[in-house]
Amino acid sequence: MPLTDEQLDNVCRKFKYRITTRNEILLHAGEVCPHMFFVNKGVLRVFLLDEQGKEFTRFLVFEGRFGTAFPSFILQEPSLASVQSIEASEILYIPHKDLMELIDTIPGWEHAYRVGLERDYIASIKRIESLIALSAKQRYDQLMANNPEMIRRLPAKIIADYLGITQETLSRLRAKN
Amino acid sequence: MPLTDEQLDNVCRKFKYRITTRNEILLHAGEVCPHMFFVNKGVLRVFLLDEQGKEFTRFLVFEGRFGTAFPSFILQEPSLASVQSIEASEILYIPHKDLMELIDTIPGWEHAYRVGLERDYIASIKRIESLIALSAKQRYDQLMANNPEMIRRLPAKIIADYLGITQETLSRLRAKN
């Protein structure tokens, strides 16, 4: 979508840039998520923590993708999930109010945002399908087919947690491949 | 959003109306989903079927809500899921091309569609959270709190399947409440 210089300048000024450290928490559960994040380098994790301190990985946000604790960000309610940068990462982030203003005022942004939403919603449906209908092996094979880089790059603990399987099962599946 | 008579007429002509029978399949897995459905009365179920004939309920679409086999409908690819009307239902439905045309041409429709998408995406995230982090009892309690009508109305088999628990566990949870 073609932007005037003024519009482009307006967009750029709303995004802030920073470098995160490994395992840094960008949002704690219980806070209202103020930002939509864009991962320029690195990877973010959106996860739940239960009362016993057990972690459950809800989503991973890879390079070139937007991500946030979505329900909290959209509803501006306290978040059930926390957001963490698993690696030292380069991120851009924009406050809720500013993103909504861009969507409402810059031609084409509502459309682009909507298409991104459809894609993310489809990804979440596929995650539900894998959780309800696939075996541990099928989940692992699906991840290998769709995101082999993730398996090479992330700690076994997080991969096992994302797949909803134990680390022992993950080791067994890896040994077989 | 205010519509001219011509616009309103154009919208109405694109939706078709029909009555479905109990357990009627509206989309078979493997087909490209041609329609977005609106449930005026009744309830639709979007479900997966594995090679052993076991069913897995992905979503339920209640009265006053839009629903479809979303990945197939948006990507216009063969669907993994089937769509079924669990009860005799009154539905409106609109072809993919016509819905996209309304979204692109009627003022306010892209915005309304986007807000609906955000809501559905949030519902799917909450479903993922419940699948990865909640116990059978917590899932049942959550459903009782958010959708008690569903528990009264649907067959135990479908509720158990939606919660990802066995019918025996469901009976036990019901007896305790």
Residue corresponding to tokens 């116990």: B135
Structure tokens at A123: 């990804």
Q: Which amino acid is present at B35?
A: H
Using a 10 angstrom Cβ sphere, with 0-12 exposed, 13-18 middle and 19 or more buried, the burial of residue A121 is buried
Kindly determine whether residue B129 and residue A81, on different chains, have CB atoms separated by under 8 Å: yes
Mean pLDDT value across chain A: 91
The mean pLDDT of A18-33, rounded to a whole number, is 97
Give the gyration radius of chain A's Cα atoms: 18
A134 pLDDT band, cuts 50/70/90, is confident
Is 80 exceeded by the pLDDT of residue B172? yes
CB-based contacts of B6, cutoff 8 Å, min separation 6: none
Half-sphere exposure of B63 (CA within 13 A, CB side): 11
Q: For the segment B63-94, what is each residue's pLDDT rounded down to a tens digit?
A: 999 999 999 999 999 999 999 999 999 999 99
Q: Say if the ipTM goes beyond 0.85.
A: yes
B66 three-class SS: strand
Give whole-number Cα distances, A9 to A15, A95, A108, A161, B54, in Å.
10, 16, 16, 41, 55
Which chain A positions have a beta carbon within 8 Å of B131's beta carbon?
128, 131-132, 164
Kindly determine whether residue A121 and residue B117, on different chains, have CB atoms separated by under 8 Å: yes
A30 pLDDT band, cuts 50/70/90, is very high
B41 reaches A (C-beta below 8 A): no
CA nearest B159: which of B126, B171, B176? Answer: B171
CB B77 within 8 A of CB A76: no
CB B109 within 8 A of CB B103: yes
Q: For the segment A51-73, what is each residue's pLDDT rounded down to a tens digit?
A: 888 889 988 998 999 999 999 99
- Bigger pLDDT: A150 vs A165: A165
Q: What is the model's pLDDT at position B67?
A: 96
Q: What is the model's pLDDT at position A174?
A: 87
CA nearest B46: which of B63, B25, B76, B64? Answer: B25
Kindly determine whether residue B121 and residue A126, on different chains, have CB atoms separated by under 8 Å: no
CA nearest B55: which of B31, B91, B32, B25? Answer: B25
For B115, the closest chain A residue by CA position comes to A114
Is 80 exceeded by the pLDDT of residue B2? no
For A70, the closest chain B residue by CA position comes to B122
Interface of A with B in 49-88 (CB under 8 A): 50, 56-58, 70-71, 74-75, 80-81
Angstroms from B126 CA to nearest CA on chain A? 9
Kindly determine whether residue A58 and residue B129, on different chains, have CB atoms separated by under 8 Å: yes
A128 reaches B (C-beta below 8 A): yes
Nearest to A129 among B80, B117, B132 (CB): B80
B1 pLDDT band, cuts 50/70/90, is low
Kindly determine whether residue A110 and residue B113, on different chains, have CB atoms separated by under 8 Å: no
Which chain A positions have a beta carbon within 8 Å of B129's beta carbon?
48, 56, 58, 80-81
The count of other CB atoms within 10 Å of the CB of residue B16 is 12
- How far is residue A11 CA from its own chain's centroid? 22
Kindly determine whether residue A132 and residue B56, on different chains, have CB atoms separated by under 8 Å: yes
Q: What is the model's pLDDT at position B123?
A: 92
Q: For the segment A64-118, what is each residue's pLDDT rounded down to a tens digit?
A: 999 999 999 999 999 999 999 999 999 999 999 999 999 998 878 889 999 999 9
A89 three-class SS: coil
Question: Could you give the CA distance from residue B96 to residue B76 in angstroms, rounded to a whole number?
Answer: 8
Nearest to A133 among B48, B74, B120 (CB): B48
Q: For the segment B88-105, what is each residue's pLDDT rounded down to a tens digit?
A: 999 999 999 999 999 998
A127 reaches B (C-beta below 8 A): yes
A48 reaches B (C-beta below 8 A): yes
CB-based contacts of A5, cutoff 8 Å, min separation 6: none
| Residues found in chain B | 177
B127 reaches A (C-beta below 8 A): yes
CA nearest B114: which of A117, A168, A140? Answer: A117
Phi-psi region at A108: left, alpha or beta (left = phi > 0; alpha = psi -120 to 50): left
Using a 10 angstrom Cβ sphere, with 0-12 exposed, 13-18 middle and 19 or more buried, the burial of residue B57 is buried
**Residue A25 phi, psi dihedral angles, 5° rounding:** -90, 120
Question: Could you give the CA distance from residue A96 to residue A70 in angstroms, rounded to a whole number?
Answer: 11
A42 pLDDT band, cuts 50/70/90, is very high
Number of H helices, E strands in chain B: 8, 8
DSSP secondary structure string for all residues of B90-158: EEEEEEHHHHHHHHHHSTTHHHHHHHHHHHHHHHHHHHHHHHHH--HHHHHHHHHHH-HHHHHHS-HHH
Question: Could you give the CA distance from residue B113 to residue B119 in angstroms, rounded to a whole number?
Answer: 10
For A128, the closest chain B residue by CA position comes to B128
For B74, the closest chain A residue by CA position comes to A118
Angstroms from A173 CA to nearest CA on chain B? 20
